Each structure stands twice: as structure tokens, then as C-alpha cells.
Chains A and B, each alone.
Chain A
Amino acid sequence: MSEIVVYAQITKNGLNPETAELVTAAQEVAKVSGETITVLAADDQAPLYEDALKLDGVSDVILLHTIGIGEMQTDVLSEVMADVITSRDVSTILAPSEHQARALLSRIAVKLDAGMTAACKELKPEAVDGKVVVHQIKSSFGSQGLVTCDITTKPAIITLIPGSYEAAPQTGTPKIQVIEKENLTSALEVLDFEESQSAGNLLGARRVVCVGKGAIEGENFSLAKSYAQKINAAFAGSRPMADQHWIDFEAQIGESGTVIRPEACLICGVSGAIQFTEGIKGDPLVIAINKDPKAPIFGFADYKVVADMKDILPELLAAADQK
């Protein structure tokens, strides 16, 4: 019986929380195919994640302990992971669509001569003539279209966007295997890390005030920023705001910027294309202010205010003062 492999990405910040979502996606496929699920991690710190990877429905966890080699060194990780995959009967590999994981899997796709589909949001397994085909659904043409893709190779490599599936609970009892990998050499050497102030604040923030192009008019930008400071929220912007240097590159929320998981978010003057909303995860409370009643952001928000922010922001500052 073949198996589905879930790539457990280990970053500087620990295990990518999307791993548990990928396991649920694998379970959806396994329901139709009857396959087993194997979780595969490869990192200098991999053995530390044994317990975190005991996820519901997983049969095997393989931890490649790549001594001295971490996620940036995809030249080495792709090789050791491809070795494991080719030694087993793997039908499907699921991985996060985040850039580093995507690069790693792209290298593995070359080594295995495997088809690869990026940034899917849903898998639809279907039994066809005794074989199981996993149809992949993904967004295309901005947010206007959805496409269905099929991969013709075995294994098939699929990356999924975060939030596509519920996280599987840590209630599994898989067989754990740690494989020591010593004397590995990468052509890349990781020297040091420079923390960015704005990104650091943004990532841990419980509340975020985010502005878009609408904030460029008048005093809107500085009013929104003052309000964020007053309520102890992080301040961020959409891509046009970073393009025009109103905010730092790191303070840009979206698919091509920083992905945040706050508890609450106030979004002012952002139209709300999918490239932006992909940067807000974890289903926070979203309040959107926009003067265009048809702004797509209102399809993402929990609460909407159809108004010009220049009328609302001074009152928000006053309301915060009255606390």
C-alpha cells in the first residue's frame, strides 16, 4: 500500500503550525485511497518535535536529524528527503506553500521528476478505474477564478495555503523513527540574523491597525498611526503603502509580505484583494472601514463601516482617550 507524505517544516520559530492542517488534508485523501500517512521532517532540531508530530491519523513519523543543516540549506535537505521518498512507495507529498518550503519541494520535484502544483486550497480525491486521482483546487487570475489541476506523476507534489483545513489534534500514536544524518555539507552557510523591529511587533501583535491607499489622503495616515499607538496595536499597511514608502517592507501585510495572526484587526481604506487577505490568518475579528460600499474587503470582514475614514479616525482617537 502506498502512502501520503506530509512535510513537517521546521523553522527558526519551531514547527510550522500548518503541518497539522496538512495532516487533515492527507486524511481526506486517505479516506478515499485507504493509504497511510507519514510525516517527514528534516532539520538540525528535528528530534525535538517528536511529540508535536503525534498527530491524529499519522502512522509513521520520520525525523531526519540533519546535524548542522537547517531549513535554508535546501541543497542538502532536498537530497536527504528525496532519498527517503524514493525508498518508499509514496503517492502524494503535501507541503506548506510558504516560500522556503516551496523552494525545497521544487528541488525535490526535479530529483523525482514529479509534477508539482502550488498554493492549493482544497483537495478532491476521486476513485477513477481503481486508481485514486487527487484533484487540486487553487485560486487563479487574482481572486476571480478557481482552477482544477491534476498531477500525472507518482509521487505528486502539492503545496497548500495555510488555513485550507482544520488542524489535526495531537492524539495520534505513530511509529517514530529518528535517522541521524552526519557530515552533511551545504554550499550555503547561515551567518547571523537581524531582527526587524516592525515585523517583530507585527507577528506577536494581538491587535493590528492596517491602512491602505485610502490613508494617503490628508491626515489619515498619521491619525491611524496615532490610534494604533494609543490602543497598543501594531501598525501595518497594504502593498501599495509599502511600494510608496509609507510603511516598511516588513510592515506590509499580504501574500508577498508578512502573514499575521492577530486577535483583532482594524482595516482602513484597503480594497481587499485576495493577495492582501491571504496575509491575515487565524480568523481574527476584522473591522473594515471603506468608503466604497462594494469594496471586496467587506466580504472578508466581520464588521463593516461604509464611511470616509477621515470622519471616523478623529473620533476613534477621542474614544481611545476616554478610556
Chain B
Amino acid sequence: MKIAICIKHVPVSEDVEIDPVTHSVRRIDATCDMNPCDLNAMEMAAQLKKATDSSIDVYTMGPDGAAASLKKCLALGADEAYLLSDRSFAGRDTLGTARVLADFVKRKSYDIVFTGAESSDGATGQVGAMLAELLGMPDVADAVSVEPDGDGALLIGKKVQQGTLKIKARGPVLLAVPFGCNEPKLPTLRAQMKANHKEIHVLTGKDCDPSVLENLEVKSVVTDVYPAPEANKQAKEITGTPKEIAIKIQKLLEGSEQDV
């Protein structure tokens, strides 16, 4: 099988300072790494590769620094890595991002495309399904497992609120993998050092279909950023000895006391 995975290189911390007057945003720590649930997706892809004799291509769109996350994937079992990097790709919204990714991913006929369920920074969770639509594939949101059924189809486990749904996909499919559904391995030092020497294929606007480049206008525009108001709920404090506190909590939980 031919597997693709699309990942995002994100800031590790969401800690920011937002100036209440100018509304400018300053990141306190600019360190970036692979998006957490993309590691879960990579783990699922690597397991599938092991079980089925498949190949894995990894894609990301971002600045040069994003190559670090691609190298992590190479160390975890990906075979080829593609960095989609161009000034014209920068600052795009989810639809623009999906269009650029789709333009490159569609050139190879993948049987399965993995993404993380959402990024830890933008957290829109939209790019995966948009990419699936552009690739003409169905998508499974919150896919927690995948295995071949032996008959050319894939059996997919999908997390829903009350449990797991089993879904069968007869053709190519995109799976959006949620955080925490498996235990991602970390690359060994040896694998990482080897991966660091592998070539990263850099694709730019020149490699992109011109009609895609013409249609990258941002359609959901951020017009302002400001600090969130402090939570204004005032919790009443329960005080006393641990025993007194426990009795009050117990009564509140039983609903036998409305106030303390």
C-alpha cells in the first residue's frame, strides 16, 4: 500500500503575551515541534506499514524549520519527506492549506492518507476533511485504528462519544487521528541520526499548479486579537477542618444542601 501522512510543525507552547492596547501578540517561547496528534497518526501509519509492506511519504507545509518534524517522521519509519515551502503558501487559511497539500498529494495515488485530528495551535480540525474532499476520498474523523481486512478493503475504528464504530473503506480513504489513541514511539538516537542525513524534497510555488496558486486568497480573516477577559465567576470557598470540609462537599454532591 502507498501511505501518505500530512503533518504540522507547531509552537510547543501556546503561552503568549497580548498587548491590551496594540493587540500585538508576542510568543513567550518560539520553540516548535511536531503537532502532538500527528505523532499518533505517524504511529498508526508506521504500524500499518509494518503489517502490510507499505511505503510512507510525509508532507508538511511550512517554513524551512518544519524540516525538523519531517526528519522525526523519517526516523519513525517514513520513507520520503516533502517540504512544501514558498512565500506564497505562507499565512493561508485552512482551505488554502488544503489546496496546496492536495495539489502535491494527488500526484501519487495513495491508498490511505493520514492527518492529525487537529493542530495544537490553530485547532480548527478542518484541513484533513478539506484535503479528503479535494482528493476525492471519504474521510473518517477521529480514526483510532486501521487494519486491512484481507479482501482489499480497510477496517477502521472510529472513536465516537459512546464507544467505537467499525467502518469499512473499499477504496482510498483519509483518516484524521485524535490525540492519545495510541502510544507514539519516539525515534531512537540512531534512527534519528540516520534520518537527519536523508534528503528532504523541497517543493515550492514553481512546482504547484498555477490554478491552485491563483485560488489561495484567505477567506476567513483574523481582524483582531485581544486578551481574554479574566474568568468572572467567583467560587465560594469552603473552609474548616478537613472533616468539616468533607461533610460540606458530601452534602453538596448529594444535593441535600444548596449552600454552605
Contacts and interface: CB of A to CB of B under 8 A. Distances in A.
Interface of A: 11-13, 72-75, 78, 99-100, 102-104, 106-107, 109-111, 113-119, 135, 139-153, 186-196, 199-200, 203, 207, 231, 233, 239, 242-243, 249-250, 252, 256-259, 263-264, 266, 285, 287-288, 296, 298-307, 311-312, 314-316, 318-320, 323
Contact of A231 (B155, B179, B253): B253
B180 A118 contact: no
Q: How large is the interface on B (under 10, 10 to 19, 20 to 34, 35 or more residues)?
A: 35 or more
Contacts of B180: 239, 242-243, 249, 252, 256-257
Given A107-B132, A110-B133, A72 B165 contact: yes
B142 A99 contact: yes
Interface of B: 14-16, 18, 25, 37, 93-95, 98, 117-118, 123-130, 132-134, 137-142, 144, 155, 158-171, 173, 176, 178-181, 215, 217-228, 230-233, 235-238, 242-243, 245-247, 249-250, 252-255, 260
Nearest to B165: A193
Contacts of B235: 288, 298-299, 301-304
B122 to A, nearest CB: 8
Contacts of A117: 124, 220
Contact of A72 (B140, B220, B237): B140
B220 A296 contact: no
Contacts of A195: 162-163
A151 B158 CA distance: 31
A3 to B, nearest CB: 20
B128 A110 contact: no
Contacts of B25: 141, 145
8 pairs of A and B residues whose beta carbons are closest in the complex? A299-B231, A115-B219, A315-B246, A106-B129, A118-B124, A103-B129, A304-B235, A196-B163
Contacts of B132: 107
A73 B126 CA distance: 16
A43 to B, nearest CB: 15
Given A117-B220, A195-B162, A287-B249, A304 B138 contact: no
A103 B117 CA distance: 10
A53 B180 CA distance: 36
A238 B173 CA distance: 31
Given A100-B141, A110-B98, A318 B221 contact: no
B237 A306 contact: yes
Contacts of B130: 106-107, 109-110
Contacts of B173: 187-188
A118 B94 CA distance: 10
A256 B37 CA distance: 10
Contact of A116 (B94, B181, B225): B94
A306 B169 CA distance: 52
A152 B171 CA distance: 35
Contacts of B252: 264, 285, 287, 303
Contact of A319 (B126, B219, B223, B250): B250
B133 A196 contact: no
Contact of A146 (B37, B225, B247): B225
A153 B128 CA distance: 21
Nearest to A139: B228
A72 B181 contact: no
A145 B228 contact: yes
7 contacts: A102-B141, A107-B130, A113-B215, A143-B228, A145-B18, A296-B231, A319-B249
**Of residues A73, A102, A188, which shows the largest number of chain B Cβ atoms within 10 Å of its Cβ?**
A188
Given A111-B133, A139-B228, A141-B14, A299 B233 contact: yes
Contacts of A135: 223
Contacts of A153: 219
Contacts of A100: 141-142, 160
B220 A187 contact: no
